[in-house]
Amino acid sequence: MNIKRLEPGSRMSQSVIYNGTVWLAGQVGAPGESVTKQTEAILARIEELLKASGSDKSAILQATIWLASMDDFAEMNAVWDAWVDPANPPARACGESKLATPDYKVEILITAAVLT
């Protein structure tokens, strides 16, 4: 069994790669920033982690998005829609959830395939 962990910490790794699949930890932006800024920062970080994991956004299989308030759905989607690979959109879910602190407005969790 060959499991690779990127940026491991005592609580979690930022990326885990196994059997051709990449699981990213939930990504958040800078606390207190707008939904737009947090989403932009999250998606940039996702791209970095996917690249380091041997993948990219064209290989995203599933995205789970949590918003502190569904009132921010359209604002987050404006950033997401400009970023997502339109030829390869993933399966996606989005819901409202109380996040780790009130300063976080968006958290995104990604599962992707490793590109060969």
pLDDT the model gives residue 109: 98
Does some domain include residue 81?
Answer: yes
Q: pLDDT grade, residue 69 (50/70/90)?
A: very high
Write out the E strands in 1-116: 4-8, 13-18, 21-24, 27-28, 60-67, 91-96, 106-113
Query: Quick check: is 10 in a domain?
Result: no
pLDDT greater than 80 at residue 31: yes
Q: Is 8 domain-assigned?
A: no
Domain assignment of residue 87, yes or no: yes
The pLDDT, as a whole number, for residue 51 is 98
- Residue 1: pLDDT above 90? no
Backbone conformation region of residue 54, classed left if phi is above 0, alpha if psi is from -120 to 50, else beta:
left
Residue 4 located in a structural domain: no
| 38 within a domain of the structure (yes/no) | yes
Domain span at residue 78 reads 24-113
- Are 74 and 36 in contact by the 8 Å Cβ rule? The answer is no
Report the CATH number that the domain containing residue 89 is assigned in CATH. 3.30.1330.40
70 found inside a domain: yes
pLDDT in tens, 72-111: 999 999 999 999 999 999 999 999 999 999 999 999 999 9
